[in-house]
Amino acid sequence: MSTIITPPGIACFPRLFQASVIGKNTQGQEPNYGLVMLFPEPALATDAWNDLRAAVNATAVEKFGADKMADKAFVSRVKENLPVKDAGEKEGEWNGFTTGRKYITMKRKHDFGRPQVIDTSGNEVIDDSLIFGGCVVRCGVRFYAWEHTGRVGVSCSLDMVELLRGGSDVKRLDNKLDAKKAFKAAGKPTGEVADVLSAMGVAPAAVPYDSADSADSADDDDDDLI
């Protein structure tokens, strides 16, 4: 099956620069690259999504044959193991996953090497901090059908990723704070830096902030935890 380009979607749980093993039962599993891609409703109305669905169906027919795929009972077994799932299944568990959206789990074997990641100018992205849960991407994927220990299904192999939008332009889904914003919001420490250095026996000559005395702390309260 040739590479299919997905419509734009939201990257979730990306593992694009270092292979790892995830999940509750990881014993015996091989590390791999991958991500979960979340597709909001507008993406599901695109020609790219229709092409993706057609590729999944064609992959199953090629593997199992038209006769089996005409058998409703057999098709029901295949549907139990598809990479495309309803996002409503994870509602309340994963940020952004709600009824009406779809998601696809994409993996790439460690032996294949990490997937190529580029930006919209075609430049390779090598900084893993630029790809996080919430970035808008599109991917090049291939589907393959399988049969193993009585189970049948179709899986999605990740070939490549294009970063369409990230940074401060998007909302992070992993709730990770931007360090610059967090420390700026806390305000600059003043006399506290000199006090800490003095307590350590270090001369506070090169304090990076204004050495003015800091504001008094709140009154002691015996009910405080610390």
Could you report the per-residue pLDDT of 33-61, keeping only the tens digit for each?
999 999 999 999 999 999 999 999 999 99
pLDDT at 100: 96
Class of CATH domain 4-169: mainly beta
- pLDDT tens digits for 181-206? 777 777 777 777 778 777 787 776 65
- Where are the domains positioned within the chain? 4-169, 177-210
Closest CA to 36 of 166, 176, 173: 173
Beta strands in the chain (DSSP E): 4-5, 9-20, 32-39, 84-86, 102-109, 116-119, 136-148, 151-165
| 158 vs 154: CA distance, rounded Å | 13
Q: Are 135 and 120 in contact (CB under 8 A)?
A: no
Three-class SS of residue 187?
Answer: coil
- pLDDT tens digits for 68-110? 999 999 999 999 999 999 999 999 999 999 999 999 999 999 9
Neighbours of 83 (CB within 10 A): 20
- Mean per-residue pLDDT, 162-174: 85
Q: pLDDT band at 23, cuts 50/70/90? A: low
Neighbours of 137 (CB within 10 A): 21
- pLDDT tens digits for 114-123? 999 999 999 9
Note the pTM of the prediction, 2 decimals.
0.76
> For all residues of the chain together, what is the average pLDDT?
86
Three-class SS of residue 183?
Answer: helix
Q: pLDDT band at 144, cuts 50/70/90? A: very high
pLDDT at 201: 78
Q: Which amino acid is at 200?
A: M
pLDDT at 158: 97
pLDDT at 177: 63
Q: Are 138 and 6 in contact (CB under 8 A)?
A: yes
Neighbours of 193 (CB within 10 A): 18
